[in-house]
Amino acid sequence: MTARPEPVTVRVPATSANLGPGFDSLGLALALYDDVTVALDPTFTGVALDVTGEGAEVADRGEQHLIVKVLRQALAELDAVAPQPLGDVPGIRLTCVNRIPHSRGLGSSSAAIVAGILAARALHPHGALLDDAFALRLATEIEGHPDNVAPCLAGGLTIAWTTSGGPRLVRLEPKDAQVVVFVPDTRLATERARGLLPATVPHADAAANAGRAALLVAALTGGLDDAVLLDATEDRLHQDYRAPAMPESADLVAALREEGVPAVISGAGPTVLAFTTASRLDSIDARTGKGWHVRPLDVAPRGASVRPGTTGAGA
């Protein structure tokens, strides 16, 4: 059995996890995309890798590049259940046009993982055996938690959780949601941010977050109200503990919230996400300070998508 001869391109959205109180459960897909083109080529051995934009500095990683590692793992998973395995794939041609900032809390690693899995599904002759539930399970296994991979796969607003049978997600439609992200030049590794979290938290803080997370889902799906959203985005489980690793981000969140803007740390940070519009922020520009790349973004209504062929940097 041979692989699909022509390349495929996977478009994957950025994501923001947690959204304040929804630690490791809530996620939002954002209309900022990476385009990943993959071809399996038996005429050479190894990896031919071309990266444009974010992450260009890791273009020489070859087999250690995250997308390549995930692609090979997903192909092996498919071979394990396929009636006719694909077998060894000596050559991979990979072109990445990256727009999602790396190590900023906008889901770049989840986007890479999802891209690798969906490319494998599209290129393997028995790719249909890897359904959406299988893709979510494998992506969560690789990433370690489902909060970013869920919206990357499904789009919109997602609630993700893990059962004894594996991860699950529910996709919801946020109503009139617009966000502005504040992206700093500095990076922060997710592992470092997670290392700052305590093993236990006060019962009162856990109870408060449970209520706020429920309120946030209601506010985002029922229509945006700044007063309710400000309450709904209050967090006691992770942001204060992580603040020493990103003091500028913590200060910006506090400044925006003082102005009545529902602002949170995006994922593990250091990007700040505000549920607002760019026009509203113009009136409080002095409070946001300098050194941020400010970008309004829509919520991505669709998750990752696959199409045949290649894409260019202008896509």
Provide the annotated binding site for ATP: 101-111
**What backbone torsions phi and psi does residue 153 show, to the nearest 5 degrees?**
-75, -40
Annotated binding-site members:
101-111
Listed residue (223, 29, 24, 196) closest to 111, CA to CA: 29
Packing angle between helix 132-143 and helix 66-81, nearest 10 degrees? Answer: 130
Residue 291: Cβ within 10 Å count: 11
DSSP string, 106-118: S-HHHHHHHHHHH
Residue 105: is it exposed, middle or buried by C-beta count within 10 angstroms (0-12/13-18/19+)? buried
> Which secondary-structure segment (H or E) carries 210?
helix 203-222
C-alpha to C-alpha distance for 280 and 260, rounded to whole angstroms: 11
What Rg value do the Cα atoms of the chain yield, rounded? 20
C-alpha to C-alpha distance for 102 and 104, rounded to whole angstroms: 5
Which stretches of 78-151 are assigned E, i.e. beta strand? 91-98
Listed residue (12, 35, 26, 31) closest to 153, CA to CA: 12
